[in-house]
Chain A
């Protein structure tokens, strides 16, 4: 069952590698799909910037506290350890060893998570970042799950590096920088939409995403147009202002 779900998702993700490619869209889909495949409660992807600090680029939910939990891992936590060591890090029960990551564990438990697992985004001997999986209930992962999770992390690596590398002289550092900057642009667009439509910033992401989907566009291109066209995109603003059904 796990393999069938995973295979299906891999095929879908491979499809997105060919068309108009948007690295943020891709990583976002990957984080959302990770939740389904592994039956976990949350997933997120962090990348190392040129300074080596980890920054969140995609998460299965835009819940503000969850984003903070990932950001917290620039200093400690499963993703941080995974990035540093380049190997999978799993913790089946956060309450069993509170001294391992005091700050991270406390925040994770406040959010209702008991178990966390992280897998490295790795290219040969370089680690680009990590994918983190969170579960409400305690428990480890099966060997099958470990294998598939690492495969998913490898797919994320390919997505980040693949983009346009054939056309231009690209190096990994630059590719990472580009992916991280795309996320910054998305945050700026979320803020702009939130203010124009007078909604919460946390709600803005889902609206941008839905709009991109409905119009068959990439998330980044919608974000970009919203920012560049300050008085425009009135249909997007109207959709955001409309109360949810």
Chain B
């Protein structure tokens, strides 16, 4: 049924990367997403140590401007989605309620040629690393199917940003690809590793995945060992992990 959705979205991302002749990056995901939705522009902004909202990729001048406006004025749907850690769907930036909510950003974005914005946080439980913003020149609300696809694009951005190593030779239908893990043990292990290495969850998740990759095992197997306490990850500086 909808199992194909992940494969289809990753297929679009792969096609872009192949056409560019470059590995999949945040830029690739933005462009593939813009094409998929016929968007005026797509932006990805990440939360960093220096700024809570840092645009790192924009597919068009309008998209770049929308992000810059939010940085400048400190308000807007991207910032709201980050604060709430939740999807923000704005079908009409010119609607009275929207202008009330973002009195500076909304009129400026409309002037820049953007009429609707859909923002999807790059989210995995408590991990929030940024937002995916899809801009349209017309007033519209994405269809449920499009929202499903958007969530997968956001998942893809999260995985790429947390150093998922995706080979272009991989099959987009490979169920291991692009899957933000549903298995509870992976999330439990992420929490355990965060406590073990005294780091935030994002770092712990990256470490867990790196360990799986380096040891040539699946994330789920590694997570299982962490939860069973046969594997512990040590704090940074020392890459050796103890196993018994």
Contact status A187-B152, CB under 8 Å: no
Cβ of A232 under 8 Å from chain B: no
Give bound CA distance, A168 to B80, whole Å.
12
Q: What's the minimum C-beta distance from B29 to chain A, rounded to whole angstroms?
A: 16
Contact with B along A56-74 (1 / 0, CB 8 A): 1000000000010001001
Contact with B along A87-120 (1 / 0, CB 8 A): 0000000000000000000000000000000000
Contact status B2-A230, CB under 8 Å: no
Q: What's the minimum C-beta distance from A205 to chain B, rounded to whole angstroms?
A: 10
Contact status A194-B144, CB under 8 Å: no
Chain A residues within an 8 Å CB radius of B200: 230
Contact status B5-A191, CB under 8 Å: no
Choose the segment among B39-47, B118-126, B209-217 that binds chain A (4+ C-beta atoms closer than 8 Å). Answer: B118-126
- Which of B124, B127, B152 is in CB contact (< 8 Å) with A50? B152
Contact status A187-B126, CB under 8 Å: no
Give bound CA distance, A172 to B89, whole Å.
13
Give bound CA distance, A90 to B149, whole Å.
33
Cβ of A39 under 8 Å from chain B: no
Give bound CA distance, A170 to B6, whole Å.
22
Q: Which residue of B lies closest to A62 (CB)?
A: B184
- Which of B88, B196, B201 is in CB contact (< 8 Å) with A195? B196
Q: Which of A51, A178, A201, A223 has the most CB of B within 10 A?
A: A51
Contact status B191-A51, CB under 8 Å: no
Contact with A along B1-45 (1 / 0, CB 8 A): 111011000000000000000000000000000000000000000
Chain A residues within an 8 Å CB radius of B194: 188, 191-192, 195, 227, 230
Chain A residues within an 8 Å CB radius of B196: 195
Contact with A along B75-103 (1 / 0, CB 8 A): 00000000000111111000000000000
Give bound CA distance, A208 to B124, whole Å.
20
Chain B residues within an 8 Å CB radius of A56: 184
Contact status B184-A192, CB under 8 Å: no
Cβ of B190 under 8 Å from chain A: yes
Chain A residues within an 8 Å CB radius of B193: 191, 195
Contact status A50-B195, CB under 8 Å: no
Contact status B125-A187, CB under 8 Å: yes
Chain B residues within an 8 Å CB radius of A49: 182
Chain A residues within an 8 Å CB radius of B187: 184, 187-188, 191
- Which of A67, A181, A186, A195 is in CB contact (< 8 Å) with B123? A181
Contact A187 B198, CB 8 Å, known A52-B3, A228-B126: no
Cβ of A53 under 8 Å from chain B: yes
Q: Which of A49, A74, A173 has the most CB of B within 10 A?
A: A173
Chain B residues within an 8 Å CB radius of A193: 191
Cβ of A12 under 8 Å from chain B: no
- Which of A84, A168, A187 is in CB contact (< 8 Å) with B188? A187
Cβ of B137 under 8 Å from chain A: no
Q: What's the minimum C-beta distance from B26 to chain A, rounded to whole angstroms?
A: 20
Cβ of B151 under 8 Å from chain A: yes
Contact status A174-B147, CB under 8 Å: yes
Q: What's the minimum C-beta distance from B21 to chain A, rounded to whole angstroms?
A: 29
Contact A201 B5, CB 8 Å, known A192-B195, A195-B196: no
Contact status A194-B6, CB under 8 Å: no
Give bound CA distance, A51 to B182, whole Å.
11
Contact with A along B124-157 (1 / 0, CB 8 A): 1111000000000000010010011101100000
Cβ of A79 under 8 Å from chain B: no
**Chain B contact residues, CB within 8 Å of chain A:** 1-3, 5-6, 86-91, 123-127, 141, 144, 147-149, 151-152, 182-184, 187-196, 198, 200-201, 227
**Chain A contact residues, CB within 8 Å of chain B:** 48-53, 55-56, 67, 71, 74, 84, 168-174, 177-178, 181, 184-196, 201, 223-224, 227-228, 230
Q: A53-B182, A173-B148, A173-B151 are in contact. List 14 more A-B contacts (CB 8 A).
A: A50-B2, A51-B148, A52-B2, A67-B184, A184-B125, A191-B190, A191-B195, A191-B227, A192-B194, A194-B191, A195-B195, A227-B191, A230-B195, A230-B200
21 contacts between A and B (CB under 8 A): A50-B148, A51-B5, A51-B6, A53-B3, A67-B184, A71-B183, A74-B182, A171-B89, A172-B144, A184-B187, A187-B191, A188-B127, A188-B190, A192-B194, A193-B191, A194-B188, A194-B191, A195-B191, A223-B126, A227-B201, A230-B200
